Structure 1
């Protein structure tokens, strides 16, 4: 059931193009096959519900919905344009342009991608590209799709990903994409935070919030199983962490507990496993978390979304105790991510002229974080008490820890510019402080 029939090179506006033409008569064939699949699923549904805890008919419906979406090339064109918008300022990612005037529901005309197969390390090296650097580019692009944009490529197999000769990673075939809501993105980040804090009870609750468990399900039996999976990963060392081993253990939970993987997350898991497989093909010793952790650290420290400040606070406090070492590690990891991505890491040792339109971040932009931190300290009595206790834990002033943190950040912060930003924000901060103070006075009366 392959709805896409022809991929040929042509010319449009003096540029090479990729023409995608739908196979004639494919639609009734797909409807027929989906009907047969669903009929079979109806016979197996009782067994599926009893043994696997999932509705076989619903699985076929979800699969069919995604497959039928791929028949509408106008939808795929919109997906490509959304990806173009998301990565417009990213100098490491290439998304093909769509020629709307030549495209329709059954024909899609795109910019031609002249790249190298992403699973051919020798060809990548022959172009003077750094394989580890290219993997860093790919993992960063995947994490941005999942945790930043909430729109990610659902079928990133080796035929849909290429290494460009200028070091960029290129994606094609956007018929199968999935969307995560802002809430789901935040819950995923919560799950990372809870994993860091080894808070397995909250990790189990994250499963409910993400739809893996029905609302009201007793999560207490699942907590020890999650702890065993994560502790086993920690014992082997996070540098050796891989999704395939973790998902294999997670599959056991699906059999033992009433867990059902929502369709959007089955795409996420498949996408991550496929991309991890590409990474291991290029570099068998590739360490996924060595790229992922610096990205997450930078995201927690610099993301403009104020909701992430709460997650940052959760990371920095454990059992009411401020984790100075964890803050230092976050800063070091975030600086590492910025340093790596300030220029395309795939171009190490290769001299190439960068496009004048490329704008890259060379320092940690902590402006929003510092401003929000100052606001929270002044307005939120609970946070203020926690931070003051952190500075005076064990009956001593933690001056040295503050000095160590400052040394890590002194080359990242432009003090005069920061002072100007704080001064601009002062009226709104003063208003919030007055409102907080008046509310506390009124509550006491």
Structure 2
């Protein structure tokens, strides 16, 4: 059982030592500590103290790697100094940005992952470098095909001819941590076989050890607004990296993701073939589709591009605001349009979980942004960790209004997430904002999805889908928390906001899937309940507010909802209600 954790390298000395290390591993498990990251345990668990003890006893390994890393970055830093001297501090140097990307690629998987993580941090990295680092996705050279086949055979403990009818002679994709083959099982199913790079664990543990050591020394000297100790950030990076190289964990993530979307006929998640899956080899259902950026093939297949955008953005919002379990790496290589109009997600190695309070605060922040309640939005930023609880938010509120007000424009339709992210990044240097690590993943996810949507429709505005979704959830009032937030939206300073209700209904109705009648039924049921007593009284007060009957506002609302509340539908709904109660 223990070979599932070893270095994914058939015939290596590590694998040959398996039998002699089993007793040692069992002892380590009893002590709940993994000491030897080179040899491993039966589970891949990031243990910084255990890694440090291992390499402190083998300093020659750390010194050799440190010299190589310093040499590569010294060349890059000298290049930066040369740029400043030649160009007098110019802020856009594409050649140097490309140099950094090449340095990270040459240093291997850990540094490629660092580059991908930095590509989500506009508060830390210059814009021209951000654009270059986003290229660190699937444009990497594969490792030797024969070694990949040997890893599969060793991991699955069967001859390839017994497992597959056929397998592609070359990988169809290669990334920092592994590569993918297309194959057909003996039982006839077409599958994707993901194989981890050989000897990956020793490389990652050594790099993480050096990064953590450097973080301890450099953290006091770096003027970075990270919100945490730099060592803790390295540890969080290490935890996520270890999760990503555990293909069993990735398979479980995929099945959990599929469970959440089981009621959504528009989202496809590939099945996992557990019989042919280990820590280093993942076998999953093959997806026949087109990358979402392949607009020519999507058009040729006669697919509705706007419908694909709707599916992609709505599924992303459901992940963040309903499930709290989201795909943190939705780059174009991980999202496919299927010939039947569905969207498929693949690659579930990088996932994250949001707490309930975070999901609720995210809904708040969207509502406050759209309603231009910048004082409440600043409080949301404190709750979400973008601002310290000790920060004086009073000078920040007008700054938010200045920057975000321009982005919003005169209409909610003018909202664009990429634009707002770029504008918000300008505030990072003037005010004590920071990007929590979890939200760096969320920002990357949202910006990437919007970029994909724009490739399908250059006129796309994310709010065309996002705000109808939020408005629909608030109007439906599915939970007590959402009902409280609806009341907060509809009342400001004790006064009923008629215009907000009209805007919310109009925007919700712009979603073709929104049906006002069930929402009206839920609203009526809520108003007649004990919980709705406060809202009943407030509505009665609103109708006679300012010593007048608000008949004009009621008439506008009726004109807005009348098309969805035809007499025949109302009679059907009333009859169903009577029969259910009887």
Query: Which structure 2 residue ranges, 5 or more long, are not aligned?
Result: 1-108, 110-175
Counterparts of residues 24-423 of structure 1 (less than 5 Å)? 24-49=198-223, 55-235=229-409, 237-337=411-511, 339=512, 341=513, 364-375=518-529, 379-380=533-534, 383-394=535-546, 395-398=548-551, 399-401=554-556, 403-404=558-559, 407-411=562-566, 414-418=573-577
Aligned position for 2:90: none
Q: Alpha-carbon deviations, 1:305-330, whole Å to 9, x = none? A: 12101111122223333233332332
CA distance in 1, matches of 2:531, 2:204: 59
TM-score (norm 1): 0.83
CA distance in 2, matches of 1:52, 1:100: 40
Structure with the greater alpha carbon radius of gyration: 2
Q: Alpha-carbon deviations, 1:63-116, whole Å to 9, x = none? A: 222111111111111110111011111111111111223222222111110010
CA distance in 2, matches of 1:215, 1:209: 8
Contact 2:329 2:350 in 1 (8 A): yes
Q: Alpha-carbon deviations, 1:170-225, whole Å to 9, x = none? A: 11000001111111100001112222332212111111111222333322222111
Residue 330 of structure 2: SS of its match in structure 1?
A: coil
User: How many residues are aligned here?
Assistant: 401
The higher relative CO (CA closer than 8 Å, separation ≥ 6) is in 1
Query: Which structure 1 residue ranges, 5 or more long, are not aligned?
Result: 343-360, 425-445
Residue 255 of structure 1: SS of its match in structure 2?
A: coil
CA distance in 2, matches of 1:216, 1:301: 35
Q: CA deviation at 1:297?
A: 1.3
Q: Alpha-carbon deviations, 1:396-418, whole Å to 9, x = none? A: 15352563365254147623334
Contact 1:52 1:255 in 2 (8 A): no
Q: CA deviation at 1:236?
A: 6.5
CA distance in 1, matches of 2:385, 2:429: 17
Pick closer, same or farther for the CA change 1:31–1:400 going to 2, 3 Å. same
Structural RMSD (CA): 2.5
Q: CA deviation at 1:50?
A: 5.5
